[in-house]
Amino acid sequence: MADWDALPEDESAHIELQEGVLIVSPRPLRQHARAAARFWEQLDDQLPAGLEAVLEFEVLVSEQFPPTVRVPDVVVTRADGPTRRLRAEDVLVAIEVVSPGSKRTDTVTEPSEYAEAGIPHYWVVDLDDPVSLVAYHFAEEFGYLEAPAVTRVFSTTDPVPLHVDLDALPRAR
């Protein structure tokens, strides 16, 4: 982790650490960035006091050697949480917006990693028409259980009551 912490901040690429291996990918396209920001905005308007949504914030998924650090598009966490990096136990929901080059990571690798780390909820947004969201929830020894994809509006009561207008995510103003 010391080597990871020593890396300079780099806004030109999306950088994560997967089992000790540096994973570098291009920054997301405009539609992806817009969708993540709009998702954050909708959550921010609805989350109760004490919780907050944060864009592109590091999550230490596995501290054991070799470590894994992910940077979900949006995370829901306690408002009084760490300022540098979240631990898996600090995350209530990790949210990824699928990019063309990240679909397998977002739908196969990360659900496995996040379930193993005990993150209670993982939501994957696919911007292909129609925009959809698949919600995973942690089910103890079963890992994540995957709900059917939802379109138009995603509503949940867990971890808190939320409604997300999925159709509004990718639209330009």
pLDDT in tens, 112-153: 999 999 999 999 999 999 999 999 999 988 889 999 999 999
Domain ranges of the chain: 2-168
CB 165 within 8 A of CB 42: yes
pLDDT bin (cut points 50, 70, 90) of residue 25 is confident
**CATH superfamily assigned to domain 2-168:** tt1808, chain A (3.90.1570.10)
CA geometry: angle 77, 118, 141, nearest 5 deg: 150
Per-residue H/E/C for 31-100: HHHHHHHHHHHHHHHHCCCCEEEEECCCEEEECCCCCEEECCCEEEEECCCCCCCEEHHHEEEEEEECCC
Rounded to the nearest angstrom, the gap between the alpha carbon of residue 96 and the centroid of all alpha carbons in its chain is: 4
pTM summary value: 0.91
